[in-house]
Structure 1
Amino acid sequence: MSEDVGVNDAPLVRPRIIATDLDGTLLRSDGTVSARTEAALALAEAAGLCIVFVTGRPPRWMEVVSAVTGPHGIAICSNGAAVYDVRRKALVSSTPLRREDALAVVKAVRAELPGVGFAFEFPEGFAYEPHYASAMWDAAAVRGIAPAETILASDVGGQVFKVLARHPEADPDEFMRRARAAAGQYAEITRSSPLLEISALGVSKASTLALWCAERGVAAEEVVAFGDMPNDLPMLAWAGTAYAVANAHPQVLAATEHRAGDHDADGVAEVIEQLVRGLDG
């Protein structure tokens, strides 16, 4: 057992839901699900727990967990903007960002931090500004390359699930702080990487997870959550039992009582194994 995980970390209420972030939390650094993690997820589902993936990833990037999705098959994507059925590859519900609010964010953040570049996540693709570049984009999903104002004034892509912002020089945490000060009245602004991730006002991993659980009669006390970055903080604060992985951002480590091991050491799997043993006991 990892020194980061203790028997006394077990939740006081019998859990029904395990809600876990993906990148930096459940997935290893190479973006894969380890054999131990796959086995732990199957063990939890067999014990009657429901696994819900809660991620900043868009729905189209959920293939990484398609092979390990239990019978429920649910992922909360784009930081809460979309609920996605991984098994059926179908969008269940969404809470998009209004284009007028997205435009207000663009103008306010650009005024505060000149040089920022923007990209926009849609249900089945994305569009981005010419000076916004990322090696992660898949060319087949590109819906447009143009200034942000042009993209938002067009009908490209449909609903805006998430706005991404990149600055070539700003420290990521300072970037987030200044963007929130400049545009926090228009949208939720967070991050899980050097990029800012911007969603509709009031939409977060926590808000969508809470709604999904309430519809099924699940209380916050019955949820065990795992995360590593600032975009996980609302979810970790809402869940009855919250774990930060050992490699988590300092803000996440400071805000959570419980610890899981490093994501490259199957920390989440280790805690899940412990939880299932506790259920058997």
Structure 2
Amino acid sequence: MTSATRRPETPASTVPTRLIATDLDGTLLHDDKTVSARTIAALAAAEQAGIEVFFVTGRPARWMDVVSDHVHGHGLAICGNGAAVVDLHGGPGAHRFVKVRELAPDIALDVIQLLRAAAPGTVCAVERTFGLHLEPGYPLMHMEPPEIVSPAEKLLAKDALDADQPVLKVLAFHPEMDPDDFLTVARTAIGTRANVTRSSPSALLEISGPGVSKASTLELCCAERGIAPEEVAAFGDMPNDVEMLTWAGRSYAMGNAHPAAVAAASGRTAPNNEDGVAIVIERILAEQL
């Protein structure tokens, strides 16, 4: 599922929402990375009403403790832009991988080499299930120190430390390029070898396996539950949310969203700092009760 063509929205009155899929950073979370009391209450009310809640994020699974703590362990998380599905119901420290859609190491290395040629100065990081490994020169912009600093050829070698852990995604950073220009260059260079997107305000790209995205993994999870796209309400704010916003029957770009997310969504809501997700959930619950 890679189409970015917006399907007409099904009238809410005819198809009840069965699943809520929400991005985290810039969407559910305030800019200080907290979840408001109003949002916590809205998520809990949705689950109590029988609506499943999925967090759909570019974050790795191990960064979900703080979020699940804020939201009292509600729901499942699709992490790494679709590379993994994690059950949060056990609470912090008890998360369980439900599904992993890895990026093959040889494809990861091929993609990195193509990016180096297309955008000289690119430096990369490799995200595995339980750790982040950096190339020399990659900025320390994430929530944890790297476990290994080495060229990508060594990070992705068959005998590398943690080589037994699946690669979830490659992060590629350019110190000078405009973020959207970098995304365009990368997509042209990489083609169908991998899925390339971005969610950061800086020139930081996120590269997953071919066909792996928030939308495609959400689609798999919904199919397993017998949930149709028309029964999903989705929320997002950045280019890595575009496919998900396009696929869902009801979708909302935040008031602070990137233009690509606005174009993909069927509706808009308030900015993340004004509890835009909670506002819509409350309205959905009022419609269905």
Q: Which bracket does the TM-score occupy, shorter chain normalised?
A: over 0.9
Letter in 1 for 2:228: A
- Structure-1 residue corresponding to 2:112: 106
- Greater shift, 252-261 or 123-132, is seen at 252-261
**Counterpart contact for 2:40–2:71, Cα < 8 Å:** no
Which of these residues, 170, 180, 197, is aligned with residue 177 of structure 2? 170
Q: Secondary structure at the match of 2:234?
A: strand
Per the TM alignment, residue 31 of structure 1 is displaced from its structure 2 partner at its CA by 0.6
Taking the aligned partners of 1:256 and 1:232, their CA distance within structure 2 comes to 9
Post-superposition Cα deviations, 1:159-184, rounded to whole Å, max 9, x if no partner, equal: 11010000000000000000010012
**Counterpart contact for 2:254–2:271, Cα < 8 Å:** yes
Letter in 1 for 2:46: A
- Structure-2 residue corresponding to 1:46: 48
Taking the aligned partners of 1:9 and 1:168, their CA distance within structure 2 comes to 45
Q: Secondary structure at the match of 2:225?
A: coil
Structure 1 length-normalised TM: 0.93
Post-superposition Cα deviations, 1:102-127, rounded to whole Å, max 9, x if no partner, equal: 01101100001111110011111110
Q: Does 1:190 align with 2:190?
A: no
Q: Does 1:155 align with 2:160?
A: yes
Give the 3 Å change call, closer, same or farther, for CA 219–133 of structure 1 in structure 2.
Answer: same
Taking the aligned partners of 1:61 and 1:184, their CA distance within structure 2 comes to 29
- Structure-2 residue corresponding to 1:3: none
Which of these residues, 116, 120, 128, is aligned with residue 126 of structure 2? 120
Per the TM alignment, residue 63 of structure 1 is displaced from its structure 2 partner at its CA by 1.3
What are the within-5 Å matches in structure 2 for residues 36-115 of structure 1?
36-69=38-71, 73-86=75-88, 87=90, 88-115=94-121
Taking the aligned partners of 1:28 and 1:10, their CA distance within structure 2 comes to 27
Q: Does 1:226 align with 2:241?
A: no
Unaligned residue ranges in structure 1 (runs of 5+): 1-7
**Counterpart contact for 2:57–2:80, Cα < 8 Å:** yes
Per the TM alignment, residue 11 of structure 1 is displaced from its structure 2 partner at its CA by 6.2
Taking the aligned partners of 2:73 and 2:227, their CA distance within structure 1 comes to 17
Following superposition, which runs of at least 4 residues in structure 1 exceed 6 angstroms of deviation? none
Unaligned residue ranges in structure 2 (runs of 5+): 1-9
Per the TM alignment, residue 255 of structure 1 is displaced from its structure 2 partner at its CA by 2.1
Aligned residues: 271
Give the 3 Å change call, closer, same or farther, for CA 9–167 of structure 1 in structure 2.
Answer: farther
Q: Does 1:251 align with 2:260?
A: yes
- Structure-1 residue corresponding to 2:31: 29
Give the 3 Å change call, closer, same or farther, for CA 90–106 of structure 1 in structure 2.
Answer: same
Per the TM alignment, residue 143 of structure 1 is displaced from its structure 2 partner at its CA by 2.7
Post-superposition Cα deviations, 1:13-35, rounded to whole Å, max 9, x if no partner, equal: 10100000000000000111011
Q: Does 1:204 align with 2:210?
A: no
Per the TM alignment, residue 10 of structure 1 is displaced from its structure 2 partner at its CA by 4.3
Which of these residues, 208, 224, 230, is aligned with residue 215 of structure 1? 224
Give the 3 Å change call, closer, same or farther, for CA 276–264 of structure 1 in structure 2.
Answer: same
Identity of aligned residues (%): 53
Letter in 2 for 1:136: H
Q: Does 1:146 align with 2:155?
A: no
- Structure-2 residue corresponding to 1:240: 249
Per the TM alignment, residue 186 of structure 1 is displaced from its structure 2 partner at its CA by 1.3
Taking the aligned partners of 2:191 and 2:161, their CA distance within structure 1 comes to 25
- Structure-2 residue corresponding to 1:271: 280
Per the TM alignment, residue 66 of structure 1 is displaced from its structure 2 partner at its CA by 1.3
Give the 3 Å change call, closer, same or farther, for CA 22–219 of structure 1 in structure 2.
Answer: same
- Greater shift, 60-69 or 97-106, is seen at 60-69
- Greater shift, 9-18 or 219-228, is seen at 9-18
Letter in 2 for 1:117: V
Taking the aligned partners of 1:41 and 1:72, their CA distance within structure 2 comes to 8
**Counterpart contact for 2:26–2:237, Cα < 8 Å:** yes
Q: Secondary structure at the match of 1:215?
A: helix
Taking the aligned partners of 2:49 and 2:23, their CA distance within structure 1 comes to 21
Per the TM alignment, residue 73 of structure 1 is displaced from its structure 2 partner at its CA by 2.9
